[in-house]
Structure 1
Amino acid sequence: MERETLKKAMMECFKDGEFQSILKEIVAEAMAVKDAEIADLRDQLKKANTHINELEQYSRRLCVNVSGVPETPNESTDQIIMDLGKMAGVTVTPADLDRTHRIGKGTGGSPRIIIARFTNFSKRQEFYNSRRELRKPRPVRGSVVSTESAGKTFISDNLTRDNQHTMYVARCLKKEGKLHSAWTDVGRMKIRLREGGPTKIIRSLEELREAADPDYRPDADPGEPSDADREGFRPAQGRNRKSARK
């Protein structure tokens, strides 16, 4: 009997407007605390992910991607890099190379990207900074790469997956006129919103959108970079693997 009486009393309380108001306030306060905790945890996670991405990108600072070089049976990717260096006016020796290999499985279509990890940063930069020289490559006797192929070669930073996607979105924004240019500098992502404007370093996709267009969402792949916008856009696919020297 006492149980039924208590149940009836509680039901009456729930019908009371003042009680409902107090209950709503208590629930709202509890939800606000939880929402704040969730927001704080999300912010911590975002910062942690950004930090991890930056560390991973830094670990790739000795690497470059080389695309557009035709594949041949039993090729030496080390020799390809050394010959491309000669064609660009840079001496690259076996001692300068830690690892080189193609990325991914061959499909019989476009040649796979070559990733090259150098043993020292200065040589990596010398090779990377000479990439424009390959537009008019020097002929090299006995080279495993023809001057025609070298002229179509593109050298770029080796980017993390997150940074690849951010630069893909940057390419979309550039094509739609929402920013003037975007490029990477040893993995650091940079943009310029207008011609002659200041250079802004961005650390994430969120920062790119905040700078260019907070509501932007790409709805189509803009395709491969043209000769006019080749700096910093070609995506790097995959992570470092063992050398494919032969």
Structure 2
Amino acid sequence: MPSRHRYRKKSGKQVRSTSEKRKPSGSPTDSLPPKTPRQLVQSTIQMPSVFTFEASTPEQTAENQETEPVSEKQHCDQNQNLSQDSFSMNVSANQKDISYPSTIFNFINDASIDILTTKLSRALMLPQLQDKFAKLFESVAKDLIEGLARDIVQPLKQEIIHLRHELEMKTDDLEQYSRRNSLRISGLPESKEENTEALVMEVLRDLHPDLTASDIDRCHRVGKKNMDRNRQVIVKFVSYRNRHKVISNRRMLRQNRSSVYINEDLTKHRSKLFKLTRDLKAKHLISSTWTYDGRVYVEEQPEGVMRVILCESDLDKYR
């Protein structure tokens, strides 16, 4: 078969033209024309061998740029030689690693991420998914709030109730202490031009003969006027000793003034408790009830144990 190469004589020897000299290469693939990124990806997927990704260095780029261009005829000869050596390349393919620039695979990776991100963003914009996400968020938030209310808010609420009760009791004690020198008189006839102090002194002298007008700090009726009943009179004594002597002898009023009653000046809370204990006595659930220095007492049985009533819950055992 005649050779396709052209020869020229020089110094008695046949040598190949300089322009037709074959380009030296480290591997058969260096003489192939450059491939596009798509062709590289396709060929990479089809090859079963193991790949090693190496980034191209500036020295390799400069070396590739300094290589001489290959003529069309030389390119055909190279393709023929490559076809003849394909079998040997396939045999050695499993033993050698083929290197490709890592930038190509980074490009593919970035493109895949962009596509997945776009599809996920579009999927999240669907009304059905938005409704499901809203319901799920509402359910999780509700469970979280209920857990916080159960673990944190509820104990704090109980503590607030307890502290509030203690504060109310202490406030009631202070208010009752401020009334320790006062008494309330019920059943005194009321008129338009009455002298309240004279009426009070007339009643109190029956219980404490040595009492004088100077022992009374002040006295007046309390509440709104009512034509159907007489309003109470509150009397404040100068000293607790005179007040205590009067309240101790109040049973003497039953002899001369059976319609007049003298009681301690109680707070609103203790007045309510005393009203409840009197109702229990009327139903014969307790033996007796009374007040002393602002405290409400009950007696379950005659000559039995006396108990102090501080709140309504203390009366539950008698109901």
Q: Would you say same fold, with TM above 0.5? A: yes
Query: Structure 2 counterpart of 1:81, which letter?
Result: V
- Do the aligned partners of residues 208 and 6 (structure 1) sit closer, same or farther apart at CA in structure 2, a change above 3 Å counting? farther
Counterpart of 1:76?
A: 195
1:161 counterpart = 2:280: no
Partner residue of 2:297 out of 190, 204, 207:
190
Tell which structure's C-alpha radius of gyration is larger.
2
1:29 counterpart = 2:147: yes
TM-score when normalising by structure 1: 0.70
Q: Which has the higher helix share?
A: 2
Counterpart of 1:221?
A: none
Instruction: Report percent identity of matched pairs.
Output: 24
Deviation at 1:108, TM superposition (A): 1.8
SS at match of 1:34: helix
Residues 191, 201 of structure 1: 8 Å contact kept? yes
Counterpart of 2:98?
A: none
Counterpart of 1:112?
A: 231
Partner residue of 2:171 out of 45, 52, 70:
52
SS at match of 2:296: strand
How many angstroms apart in 2 are the aligned matches of 1:175 and 1:6? 75
Query: Structure 2 counterpart of 1:182, which letter?
Result: T
How many angstroms apart in 1 are the aligned matches of 2:277 and 2:172? 18
Partner residue of 1:103 out of 207, 219, 222:
222
Counterpart of 1:212?
A: 318
How many angstroms apart in 2 are the aligned matches of 1:75 and 1:57? 29
Deviation at 1:160, TM superposition (A): 1.0
SS at match of 1:69: coil
Counterpart of 2:45?
A: none
Count of aligned pairs between the two proteins: 197
1:94 counterpart = 2:213: yes
- Do the aligned partners of residues 4 and 128 (structure 1) sit closer, same or farther apart at CA in structure 2, a change above 3 Å counting? farther
Higher relative CO (Cα under 8 Å, sequence separation at least 6) belongs to 1
Residues 67, 113 of structure 1: 8 Å contact kept? yes
Query: Structure 2 counterpart of 1:132, which letter?
Result: R
Deviation at 1:6, TM superposition (A): 8.3
TM-score when normalising by structure 2: 0.55
Counterpart of 1:141?
A: none
Compute the RMSD of aligned alpha carbons.
2.8
SS at match of 2:173: helix
Residues 208, 245 of structure 2: 8 Å contact kept? no
Query: Structure 2 counterpart of 1:111, which letter?
Result: N
Partner residue of 1:178 out of 285, 288, 292:
285
Residues 287, 301 of structure 2: 8 Å contact kept? yes
Counterpart of 2:61?
A: none
81-90 or 164-173: bigger deviation: 81-90
Deviation at 1:152, TM superposition (A): 1.8
How many angstroms apart in 2 are the aligned matches of 1:75 and 1:96? 21
How many angstroms apart in 2 are the aligned matches of 1:96 and 1:4? 92
SS at match of 2:278: helix
How many angstroms apart in 2 are the aligned matches of 1:3 and 1:110? 83
Residues 298, 306 of structure 2: 8 Å contact kept? yes
